[in-house]
Amino acid sequence: MNLVYFGVIGALIIVVLYNTIKILKEYERGVIFFLGRFQIVKGPGLIILIPGIQKMTKVDLRVIVMDVPTQDVISRDNVSVKVNAVIYFRIVDPEKAVIRVADVFEATSQLSQTTLRSVLGQHELDDMLSEREKLNSDIQGLLDQRTDNWGIKVANVEIKHVDLDESMIRAIAQQAEAERARRAKIINAEAEKQAATMLAEAAHILAKEDQALQLRYLQTLKEISNERTNTIVFPIPLEFLEPMLKLVRKKSQK
């Protein structure tokens, strides 16, 4: 009997000590309730509770990484895409995280899904593909604002994948090809414009200087003479015949 009695007493002491003495790590805090009412936040280190009167809820303050499940999003230009993301957040106010929301992680997960659909639905597909940094910042700011009442600080949001169906991928490829063709035509048009401007300037200069025009004519003759051909036909400018015409006029006047 004595052994059984001492065994029962020992077990009761162990249970009491287990419910009385708590040790919290550096990244943990304990929300203490006294007869069901919030009393204080304690930790880290050794915590002593009054069994049956005080209760403690442990809270982890480290950064938590949470995947946002793939969401079907319809963009502002009526394109259906599948988007998933990841959020990084931590609890900064253990009291709010325990008292104001039943399950802080489930609540944050559901809110992140609805916020992701809401923010991306206000943008066009091109924005989702080219402006992810801005969208990440918008989602992070909105989530941080909405979860502040739960004692949550959202540090970062990253959109991981934007999945398109095959028909949309082909359409984007065709659009990119058309854009490249448009740019090539613009470049060619600019080159032709510059060449035409330079030719007009050259013609203007040659028109002012007769010697320059004659030199250009002689250079053209030289280039033609280098070609392998049996017959060469070239015009003679009237400017070249002007000295001969003057000589003929003088002889006729005599």
Cis? peptide before 44, omega within 30° of 0: yes
Helix (DSSP H) and strand (DSSP E) numbers for the chain: 8, 8
**What phi, psi does 62 have (nearest 5°)?**
-70, 160
Residues 6+ apart with CB under 8 A from 130: none
Residue 125 near residue 92, CB atoms below 8 Å: no
Q: What is the pLDDT of residue 191?
A: 81
Measured CA to CA, the distance from residue 34 to residue 54 in angstroms comes to 5
Residue 124 near residue 80, CB atoms below 8 Å: no
Q: pLDDT tens, 212-249? A: 555 666 666 666 666 665 565 555 555 555 655 665 56
Specify the pTM.
0.64
Spell out the domain ranges in the chain.
Answer: 11-59, 64-164, 168-195
Paired sense of beta strands 152-163 and 45-48, if any: unpaired
| Architecture label for domain 64-164 | 2-Layer Sandwich (3.30)
